[in-house]
Chain A
Amino acid sequence: MINLTINGNAEEFDENSTLLEASRKLGIKIPTLCNNEFLKPYGGCRLCLVEVATDRAPENSRLLPSCCTPVSKGLIVKTDTERVKKARIFILQLLLARTTDSQELIQLGKELGALVEEGALDPVGEYLANRTEKTADTKCILCGLCVRVCSEITERHAISFYKRGMEKEVRIPFNKVAETCIGCGSCAYVCPTNTITIEEVS
């Protein structure tokens, strides 16, 4: 067992757990988008960031993704500081500046304070909400859950990422239904933005 402090509570945790699992055990809510307990942690969406320091240098803290950070002795973890809140709001505002079509994201945005009425936004939020065009024409936020479920669980490797940066997208090889796809629907099931639909093909 490992001893560490989360939001002021010193507790013991199983040594194979992550900060996300440890926090949830204490009933602390941490939002996630790219995490799924049956898949390897990815650390991509950055929504689960928490502020972490060690007891040797408590003033020297960093933001780390709780989903991929293992518990370790003497960590001081804070899940709810101003810095953490600001970071999460920024991430969601970036995603909402990408697409506003996803009800799931809008809901999350409201919960975390990223979507507020006019006038209550800070300059960065104001820019992202009102001064830019949408950066993507899909609801996909590139969380990679579909790609990972298809390779790690079903082992079909029927979908993958293509290109990089803003051009990055999820694709099926050669853009037609992959012969390896068994139509299991796992990808659609894990997708946090409901981007994937399963259709019958004859």
Chain B
Amino acid sequence: MADFRTHLMLCAGTGCVSNKSLEVKEALELEIEKQNLQNEVEVVSTGCQGFCAQGPIIVVKPDNIFYQLLNVEDIPYLVEEHFLKGRQVEKFMYNPPDSKEKIPTLDEIGFFKKQQLIALANRGLIDPEKIDEYIGRGGYKAAIKALTQMSSEEVIEEVLQSGLRGRGGAGFPTGLKWKFAAGSPGDEKYVICNADEGDPGAFMDRSIVESDPHAVIEGMMIGAKAIGAARGFVYVRDEYPLAVERMIKAIKDAREYGLLGEDIFDSGFDFDLKVNRGAGAFICGEETSLIASLEGNMPEPRVRPPFPAVSGYNGKPTNINNVESWATIRHIINNGAEWFSSIGTEKSKGTKVFSLVGKVNNTGLVEVPMGVSVREIIEDIGGGVLNGKKFKAVQTGGPSGGCIPESLMDTPVDYESLAKVGSIVGSGGMIVMDEDNCMVEVARYFLAFTQQESCGKCPPCREGTRHMMNILTDITKGKGKPGDIDMLLEMAMLVKDTSLCALGQTAPNPILTTIKYFRDEYEAHINEKRCPAKECKELIHFDILEEKCTGCTVCARNCPVTAITGERKALHVIDQDTCVKCGICKNVCKFDAVRIES
């Protein structure tokens, strides 16, 4: 990369690509040629840079100038101004929601400032399809060290001492898991990377595989050496074609460089990897069903013990870790356990990647040290709630997690603290909700997901989640009965206690936490047939305020079912029997005359 004066790090992650970043790239290259800058300026396609809401994104190196929301039409101007005339273009810089000042460089943007990158260390810095760029940034150094200078025991000890806990959901200590797999008798062992990621709103793992596949491979090489495995699988969610493609290419390149295959680095150690596409269901991410699916069987969880470390793929000792866990390993080997364990809290070490979505200004991927508060993530990194609305709650840990209300926003984000308030770190989903979100509806939404994704093997999960969803649906429709809250709580506890796998055991969490923190909303639905957030359609109606309506007729003309009548310049009225509660009138009225009542 040294010959060029400037590098344009253009995001070619899934989010930016869907916002036409590849077209922007083409336009950039064309324009650079046109201005005869092709020997000075190089465009590099990177993986997701995390700030997907602002895509397409480019970062200009070496100065780290951050340009966002680019269109193909903007490119000639941008190239001429910045790269020919050397003038930075303010127009394309980032504007924080609550400020008039544009921010020129990446390092000064709140979204990036509080982040600390370990699993995402190469974010925006390399082309994920070029193994040389990964190696150029210190890649495969840790693998060489582990394979040629360390014993298996030393590798395991380092990971154990680092305090790393699994990033896939359960938070089990990674070093301990490796120790079990290493100690299991058998000369045929396997390692697996779990990239099945199926939580709604989560894309941490997809992003890592797409933007830094070699980091995952390197982690798996080290893990394989530690437990004595010669083969591994990367199990990628079927809906992630780009991740599959990048991983296949990365494995092929690593093989060509002799990093995978036989007698790697003349160490006598053999290791090779294969990519498998997921079978297309959330439950395939559960480790025992994932293994069943790899074996060609129906993806159904089975009772543990035996754990995969004793009896996994084809009944052989198998170590399965999450993408982010694997991508973190090389840094622990390179920098040492002590360095890693100096980050985070007493029992939750290192950093964690979260995907921040929902009603928040800066949606995207964030990696923060364990122990930062929910508030810091949402306010400082996320830039606060969208449209100046009031924060209500954040759901962490996806459908298995719980929601955290405003009063607990200072809770540190680590395994113990989140468990204490009834939620989990989980795989790292964070869905922000504002005052317009009905918390009964939130619980219903997650139960609708889990009941659909239940594998159906055990009755509490298969039947119980369906009943709980039905009860919640009734409540949102004003058909709840007194006593339903306590009945739901009882059923939730029974489902947790009797389900076979963690899907059923955690499915009631959204119900338990929404009742714990928002019981008054449930009561309003049941006792007063009222939805305080004004979201549940059956419990609201639209009204036009006499003192605000100017009789402009816009609402009447836009109503799809002609439910609104009124003369020009006179009060308009909604016929409640015809109205289908679509909300269009409220959106089109310029005088804020349409109100939702509940």
Interface residues of A (CB under 8 A from B): 41, 43-46, 49, 63-65, 68-70, 83, 86-87, 90-91, 94-95, 97-98, 122-124, 127-128, 132, 135, 141-142, 144, 160-161, 163-168
Residues of A within 8 A of B483 (CB): 123
Interface string of B479-495 (1 = CB under 8 A from A): 00001001100110010
Contact A124 B462 (CB under 8 A): no
Contact A165 B464 (CB under 8 A): no
Tell me whether A165 and B452 are in contact in the complex, defined as CB-CB below 8 angstroms, given that A46-B500, A127-B487 are known contacts.
yes
Contact A68 B455 (CB under 8 A): no
Interface string of B254-289 (1 = CB under 8 A from A): 000000000000000000000000000101000000
Provide a sorted-by-A list of 26 A–B residue pairs whose CB atoms are within 8 angstroms: A43-B458, A46-B458, A46-B498, A63-B497, A64-B303, A68-B303, A83-B497, A87-B494, A90-B460, A91-B498, A94-B459, A98-B463, A122-B490, A123-B486, A123-B490, A124-B494, A127-B471, A135-B463, A141-B459, A163-B456, A164-B281, A164-B283, A164-B456, A165-B462, A166-B463, A168-B462
* Separation of A63 and B497 alpha carbons in the complex (Å): 7
Residues of A within 8 A of B459 (CB): 45-46, 91, 94-95, 98, 141
Of B300, B459, B486, B499, the most chain A CB neighbours within 10 A belong to: B459
Closest 9 CB pairs of A and B: A168-B456, A43-B303, A123-B487, A165-B454, A94-B463, A68-B303, A94-B459, A90-B494, A44-B457
Tell me whether A45 and B487 are in contact in the complex, defined as CB-CB below 8 angstroms, given that A70-B305, A161-B298 are known contacts.
no
Tell me whether A43 and B497 are in contact in the complex, defined as CB-CB below 8 angstroms, given that A142-B456, A142-B457, A164-B281 are known contacts.
no
Interface string of B298-317 (1 = CB under 8 A from A): 10101101000000000000
Contact A86 B494 (CB under 8 A): yes
Contact B470 A165 (CB under 8 A): no
Determine the residue in chain B with the shortest Cβ distance to A136: B463
Contact A94 B464 (CB under 8 A): yes
* Separation of A166 and B455 alpha carbons in the complex (Å): 9
Determine the residue in chain B with the shortest Cβ distance to A89: B494
Distance of B482 from chain A, by nearest CB (Å): 11
Tell me if B416 is interfacial: C-beta within 8 Å of chain A. Answer: no
Interface string of B541-556 (1 = CB under 8 A from A): 0000000000000000
Contact A132 B470 (CB under 8 A): yes
* Separation of A87 and B459 alpha carbons in the complex (Å): 11
Within 8 A of A (CB), among B42-57: none
Besides the contacts A43-B302, A46-B500, A168-B456, what 6 more A-B pairs have beta carbons closer than 8 Å? A65-B500, A68-B303, A97-B467, A98-B459, A164-B454, A168-B455
Distance of B450 from chain A, by nearest CB (Å): 9
Tell me if B466 is interfacial: C-beta within 8 Å of chain A. Answer: yes
Of B302, B456, B457, B470, the most chain A CB neighbours within 10 A belong to: B457
Residues of B within 8 A of A164 (CB): 281, 283, 453-456
Distance of A68 from chain B, by nearest CB (Å): 4
Determine the residue in chain B with the shortest Cβ distance to A63: B497
Residues of B within 8 A of A83 (CB): 497
Contact A41 B303 (CB under 8 A): yes
* Separation of A86 and B490 alpha carbons in the complex (Å): 11
Tell me if B293 is interfacial: C-beta within 8 Å of chain A. Answer: no
Determine the residue in chain A with the shortest Cβ distance to B504: A46
Tell me if B513 is interfacial: C-beta within 8 Å of chain A. Answer: no
* Separation of A161 and B452 alpha carbons in the complex (Å): 16
Interface string of B191-210 (1 = CB under 8 A from A): 00000000000000000000
Contact B458 A44 (CB under 8 A): yes
Determine the residue in chain B with the shortest Cβ distance to A95: B459
Residues of B within 8 A of A87 (CB): 494, 497-498
Distance of A114 from chain B, by nearest CB (Å): 12
Residues of A within 8 A of B466 (CB): 135, 165-166
Distance of A170 from chain B, by nearest CB (Å): 11
Contact B455 A165 (CB under 8 A): yes
* Separation of A43 and B458 alpha carbons in the complex (Å): 8
Determine the residue in chain B with the shortest Cβ distance to A98: B463
Residues of A within 8 A of B486 (CB): 123
Residues of A within 8 A of B455 (CB): 164-165, 168
Tell me whether A45 and B458 are in contact in the complex, defined as CB-CB below 8 angstroms, given that A87-B494, A97-B467, A166-B451 are known contacts.
yes
* Separation of A49 and B500 alpha carbons in the complex (Å): 10
Contact A166 B500 (CB under 8 A): no
Determine the residue in chain B with the shortest Cβ distance to A162: B298
Contact A128 B497 (CB under 8 A): no
Determine the residue in chain A with the shortest Cβ distance to B465: A165
Contact B498 A63 (CB under 8 A): yes
* Separation of A108 and B560 alpha carbons in the complex (Å): 55
Tell me whether A65 and B453 are in contact in the complex, defined as CB-CB below 8 angstroms, given that A132-B467, A168-B462 are known contacts.
no
Residues of B within 8 A of A135 (CB): 463, 466
Of B454, B456, B464, B470, the most chain A CB neighbours within 10 A belong to: B456
Residues of B within 8 A of A128 (CB): 467
* Separation of A87 and B451 alpha carbons in the complex (Å): 20
* Separation of A89 and B269 alpha carbons in the complex (Å): 54
* Separation of A127 and B453 alpha carbons in the complex (Å): 23
* Separation of A86 and B493 alpha carbons in the complex (Å): 11
Contact B303 A160 (CB under 8 A): no
* Separation of A94 and B470 alpha carbons in the complex (Å): 14
